[in-house]
């Protein structure tokens, strides 16, 4: 999905607040020398902060170009190893970890196996932590979709994915569990949930590049996507003074490993991976 825009992805995708990683360490007990498996590292947006905690990090990334760029970006950090693999297909070679972290990536992992496989690669007492960035808006604040809804309908009418971001207060109210339709059963929990407000500022071209790096726009045909993004960039320049916010609530959801895995393939076995489902990230 993102391999052909790896450099853009690296430049414009948001990271995560320092406070989130401080809380991650406090909640899970991660410390210098802890071992972390990161699933879907992209170009290293969260990996840098995990390494800064002093953890040894094995980072999985199925996108070949993304993984190559992650190796370049993370080469100077000790204890970080980037492997080009999907989590479902990865040969763990018997390794077991203190924590598994997935930053804006867990929704790409096959839901039929992800929880059980996560349970299998963690040590007893290990933790699963899901990080994310939810796009939100605040009442009365200028917001790009509000200024460009007509452009979205002109270039790609009737797309069910179009719509205003949710209000920040409404998102904060959805703080139960793992935030997903499916859950881990008795394999992980109880869940700690914490929110962290953040904002990125872009000029028109930068905002178009940001959208260009997201799955919602990647899945559009190029002859629709590029004229739409050009029009959005021009709208940001002319109506918003060439300065547009992208507001987020970063979220930490963490729970300890409990229970026993259900029957199925061994954690190190190869499992076929279904096509990724379109998401906002």
Q: Comparing C-alpha atoms, which of 84, 102, 95 is closest to residue 121?
A: 95
Whether the predicted pLDDT of 277 surpasses 50: no
Fold for 3-138+166-200+249-256, please state it: Rossmann fold (3.40.50)
What is the pLDDT at residue 126?
98
Q: How confident is the model at residue 281 (pLDDT cuts 50, 70, 90)?
A: low
What is the pLDDT at residue 260?
64
Confidence (pTM): 0.89
Alpha-helical regions (H) of the chain: 6-12, 18-28, 47-52, 64-74, 114-121, 144-155, 168-172, 204-212, 215-218, 222-239
Q: How confident is the model at residue 261 (pLDDT cuts 50, 70, 90)?
A: low
Q: Hey, which of 21-30, 136-145, 178-187 has the most confident mean pLDDT?
A: 21-30
Q: What is the dihedral of CA 24, 28, 30, 34, to 10 degrees?
A: -130
- Least confident piece of the model among 129-143, 164-178, 254-268: 254-268
Domain boundaries, the chain: 3-138+166-200+249-256
Task: Provide, for the chain, the percentages of residues in helix, strand and coil under a 3-state DSSP scheme, each rounded to the nearest 5.
Answer: 35, 20, 40
């Amino acid at each position: 999905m993102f391999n052909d825009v790896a450099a853009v992805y690296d430049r414009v995708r948001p990271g995560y607040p320092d406070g989130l990683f401080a809380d991650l360490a406090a909640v899970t007990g991660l410390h210098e020398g802890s071992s972390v498996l990161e699933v879907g590292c992209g170009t290293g947006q969260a990996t840098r902060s995990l390494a800064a905690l002093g953890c040894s990090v094995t980072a999985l990334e199925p996108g070949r170009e993304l993984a190559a760029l992650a190796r370049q970006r993370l080469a100077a950090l000790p204890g970080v190893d980037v492997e080009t693999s999907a989590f479902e297909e990865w040969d763990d070679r018997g390794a077991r970890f203190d924590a598994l972290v997935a930053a804006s990536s867990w929704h790409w992992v096959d839901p039929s196996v992800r929880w059980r496989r996560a349970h299998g690669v963690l040590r007893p007492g290990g933790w699963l932590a899901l990080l994310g960035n939810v796009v939100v808006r605040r009442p009365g604040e200028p917001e790009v979709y509000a200024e460009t809804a007509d452009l979205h309908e002109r270039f790609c009418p009737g797309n069910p994915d179009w719509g205003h971001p949710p209000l920040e207060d409404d998102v904060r109210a959805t703080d139960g569990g793992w935030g997903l339709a499916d859950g881990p059963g008795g394999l992980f929990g109880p869940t700690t949930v914490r929110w962290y407000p953040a904002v990125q500022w872009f000029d028109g071209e930068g905002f178009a590049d940001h959208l260009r790096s997201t799955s919602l726009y990647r899945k559009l045909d190029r002859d629709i996507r590029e004229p739409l993004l050009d029009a959005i960039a021009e709208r940001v320049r002319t109506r918003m003074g060439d300065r547009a916010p992208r507001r987020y609530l970063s979220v930490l959801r963490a729970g300890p490993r409990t229970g026993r895995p259900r029957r199925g393939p061994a954690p190190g076995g190869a499992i076929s991976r279904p096509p990724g489902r379109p998401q906002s990230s």
